């Protein structure tokens, strides 16, 4: 059974489930350079033995498959709330589990758990702490958790952008990551938290949101009204708006 959060996420993302996800935001999440950058940043921290890897909120698992190919060994398990996402992965050696992260209990621990641009789908601090605790319960004693969140370093701008997403019904609720992320990790019980790399910025315009969420003119005007003062993360334009996200990579263990 899916939580109300998961059900809402599925509904709002109905236009980009499965294979269509690869083209979201100009193909940012399937871009080979972005994936290669991620690999180069995390590989120095990974042990050399074959890893049992869990990729949560994986979509079709493009990033997880790239890690396995790069390492040349190990096992990959994907977890996502969308069966359409999982069906887009045709690797018979990859285990695929359709599950709400808030209900995840695999009764197994992994050497490495990976998450990318998904923690914000849990739109409160409390729900983010809860899901991070669930992830922690799936990490071995000497295992690692690597997360690359959509990040806005200025908390005021973070709150503005989160409000944009949450207050537009077609998009759905979000709480993007900011400088309070370490405190969320600590509350969830992680003992180590450090930045190990930086990805390319993601730039989103109203055209990207029209394609993904079918926004109308009223939605765009409303979002413009929320951006009362332009910043490096949220900018009002003549035709709509520009939102910018950092994509740092964080490593943690238990």
Q: What does the pLDDT look like over 13-31, one tens digit per residue?
A: 999 999 999 999 999 999 9
pLDDT bucket at 200, cuts 50 / 70 / 90: very high
Place of tokens 């695929």: 96
Q: Count of residues for the chain?
A: 254
Mean pLDDT of 54-75: 97
Higher pLDDT, 7 or 102: 102
Give the C-alpha separation, 174 to 153, whole Å: 16
**Are 80 and 114 a contacting pair, CB within 8 Å?**
no
Query: Quick one: CA dihedral 82, 1, 136, 77, positive or negative?
Result: negative
Domain ranges of the chain: 4-159+172-203+246-253
pLDDT at 78: 98
- Write the DSSP string, 28-44: GGG-HHHHHHHHHHHGG
**What pTM did the predictor assign?**
0.97
**Are 37 and 196 a contacting pair, CB within 8 Å?**
no
Q: Residue 119 pLDDT > 90, yes or no?
A: yes
Residues 151-179 pLDDT 10s: 999 999 999 999 999 999 999 899 999 99
Mean pLDDT of 36-55: 97
pLDDT bucket at 66, cuts 50 / 70 / 90: very high
- Phi first, then psi, for residue 34 (nearest 5°) are -65, -40
CATH number for region 4-159+172-203+246-253: 3.40.50.150
CA atoms within 13 A on the CB side of 102: 18
> Would you tell me how many other CB atoms lie within 10 Å of the CB of residue 210?
16
pLDDT at 73: 96
Work out the mean pLDDT of the chain and round it to a whole number.
96
Mean pLDDT of 208-234: 97
pLDDT at 191: 87
- Write the DSSP string, 127-165: HHHHHHHHHHTTEEEEEEEEEE--B-SSHHHHHHHHHHH
pLDDT bucket at 6, cuts 50 / 70 / 90: confident
pLDDT at 239: 96
**Are 235 and 227 a contacting pair, CB within 8 Å?**
yes
Q: Which of 186, 198, 202 is nearest to 252 (CA)?
A: 186
57: helix, strand or coil: coil
Mean pLDDT of 68-94: 97
pLDDT at 172: 87
17: helix, strand or coil: coil
Mean pLDDT of 95-120: 97
> Would you tell me how many other CB atoms lie within 10 Å of the CB of residue 175?
23
pLDDT at 173: 94
> Would you tell me how many other CB atoms lie within 10 Å of the CB of residue 41?
19
Place of tokens 């998904």: 118
Mean pLDDT of 62-89: 97
């Amino acid at each position: 059974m899916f939580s109300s959060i998961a059900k809402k996420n599925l509904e709002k993302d109905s236009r980009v489930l499965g294979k269509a996800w690869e083209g979201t935001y100009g193909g940012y999440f399937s871009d080979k350079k972005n994936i290669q950058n991620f690999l180069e940043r995390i590989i120095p921290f990974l042990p050399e033995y074959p890893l049992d890897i869990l990729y949560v909120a994986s979509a079709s698992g493009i990033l997880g498959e790239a890690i396995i190919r790069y390492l040349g060994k190990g096992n990959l398990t994907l977890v996502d709330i969308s069966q359409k996402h999982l069906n887009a992965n045709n690797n018979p050696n990859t285990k695929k589990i359709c599950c709400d992260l808030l209900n995840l209990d695999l009764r197994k621990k992994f050497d490495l758990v990976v998450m990318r641009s998904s923690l914000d789908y849990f739109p409160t601090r409390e729900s983010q702490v809860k899901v991070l605790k669930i992830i922690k319960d799936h990490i071995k004693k000497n295992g690692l958790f690597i997360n690359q969140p959509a990040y806005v370093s200025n908390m005021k701008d973070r709150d503005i952008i989160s409000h944009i997403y949450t207050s537009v019904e077609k998009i759905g609720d979000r709480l993007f990551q900011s400088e309070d992320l370490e405190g969320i990790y600590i509350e969830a019980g992680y003992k180590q938290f450090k930045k190990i790399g930086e990805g390319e910025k993601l730039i989103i315009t109203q055209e990207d949101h029209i394609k993904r969420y079918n926004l109308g003119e009223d939605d765009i005007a409303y979002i413009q009204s929320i951006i009362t003062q332009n910043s490096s993360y949220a900018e009002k334009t003549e035709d709509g708006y520009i939102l910018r996200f950092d994509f740092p990579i964080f490593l943690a263990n238990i």
